[in-house]
Structure 1
């Protein structure tokens, strides 16, 4: 008997819902920490803002370091090791393109990443509405810099491409595959410090959607939904060309660590990791 797509989705949920909820929780936590850090650094009433003063570089450095450390902790946490710690629809879709995530899991991953991020931003808005809405914070909305839309589009595309390519090359390397999470955290910190003035630094459609919904501002949202996905998609094509069809060993950003016993298997691939129907 042929199983329709809806039945597959329901079966995937019954089997793998803890992984999907982990992705939602990770996306929510990312938005909450990013929002709170930005408030503490940029809001004029914050004691830290008085110390940072008018130095945007120092402010971005603080935010970048906090986000970088957060990402490393999330990737190597027990929960991150189980789901793969994608927390980003563009990352999940890139792994799907490489056949490392089944399409059923990809649908649920992306849905819950979006829901988790939006929920995280709404929670901050509920608890710290006036602080979150302050023009210096502006719901941490990602928007093009002074150089304009085309520069922002190109910058988002390039940083997403580089980010995913670094992850893929690292995960494919036996000596380095356990370091992908560290490189991800480092790259995001560097991007926030140096690239943010050009595009607002997203690389994550869920992160940008969450801020846009909280602010009710959607003018440039399309850029942050399209550029990261296209950039990471191109990274998968480049990876395939570089390795001539070799398969990526795994789609877990923590790498494979036999001492933990938690990363020896792939993230859920409904219902069979070797199924031809991806």
Structure 2
């Protein structure tokens, strides 16, 4: 195995491990919020959908920040999201040869993270209240509406990340910006579309729960939004480079 292939395999395995850890943390949060829910008790703040989102959103968002800042995350970029891997490839931050291994690792990591949750937390993890932490939109939301919102939120996240990583001054704050945007979009859209903007977040839970009806939308929308953002940011960068060139001397 060549050095480049070995590095790619090692990085893909790190992405697998990081994604599995992220899914386990998020699913564990869902287990404790939903698995201990007492419908007859109104005293607990998490007994409302909004209250549960306020707990899940920052934990989910800043778990991604922690992943990006971890030693493993610094080696791979800490993508833990196929849409982010595609965006970083388009931004020139991830080699093309890494894209498919990274995505495969992230999706497999999603499955392993949920499997670990089932093993650790037992039958309650598969109960209707928790249901393997699967994401479902609010009643009345169509496949097209879910795709539109998920793609738009990922567009914003990738566009902001692209601006940040291209700036020396803003670059160090990128992990915190990404975590904050993830938390914000969960709070804004969690009770509507699920607010995940990450195919890996839904892949494992959907497979274990058997609810695959909207999985194609959750898998396709974030990458579409991410790629669209890279096109827009790329064009903006090209225009700035052109406008920044020295003007040609006027003819005599």
Same fold (TM > 0.5): yes
Residue pair 2:37, 2:47 contacting (<8 A) in 1 also = no
| Alignment partners' CA distance in 2, 1:127 and 1:45 | 19
Q: Which residue does the alignment assign to 2:228?
A: 234
Question: Is 2:49–2:191's contact at 8 Å kept on the other side of the alignment?
Answer: no
Name the residue aligned to 2:248: none
Choose the corresponding residue for 1:181, options 158, 175, 180: 175
Q: Matches of 1:140 and 1:125 in 2, distance apart?
A: 10
Q: Is the 8 A contact 1:205 1:225 kept in 2?
A: yes
Mapped pair 1:76 → 2:69: yes
2:31 is the alignment partner of 1:39? yes
Show structure 1 runs of 5+ residues with no match.
1-6, 248-278
Please, which of 136, 140, 153 is the counterpart of residue 133 of structure 2?
A: 140
Q: CA deviation at 1:45?
A: 5.5
> Which runs of at least 4 in structure 1 moved beyond 3 Å after TM superposition?
10-13
Q: Is the 8 A contact 2:33 2:46 kept in 1?
A: no
Is the counterpart of residue 205 in structure 1 residue 203 in structure 2?
Answer: no
Following superposition, the deviation at residue 167 of structure 1 comes to 0.7
TM-score by length of 2: 0.87
Q: TM-score, normalised by structure 1?
A: 0.79
| Partners of 1:73 and 1:162 in 2: CA distance | 21
CA distance in 2: counterparts of 1:11 and 1:121, whole angstroms:
32
Given that 2:91 and 2:162 are in contact with CA atoms closer than 8 Å, whether structure 1 keeps it comes out as no
- For 1:262, the equivalent position in structure 2 comes to none
Question: Are the aligned partners of 1:12 and 1:104 in contact in 2 as well (CA < 8 Å)?
Answer: no
The 3 A distance-change label for structure 1 pair 55 and 176 is same
Q: Which has the larger radius of gyration?
A: 2
RMSD: 2.2
Closer, same or farther: CA 151–128 of 1 in aligned 2, 3 Å: same
Task: Provide structure 2 residue ranges, at least 5 long, that are not aligned to the other structure.
Answer: 242-252
Within 5 Å, give how 1:110-121 maps onto structure 2: 110-121=103-114
**Does structure 1 retain, via aligned residues, the 8 Å contact 2:85–2:102?**
yes
Q: Whose helix proportion is higher, 1 or 2?
A: 2
Instruction: Mark the CA change 1:50 to 1:119 in structure 2 (over 3 Å): closer, same or farther.
Output: farther
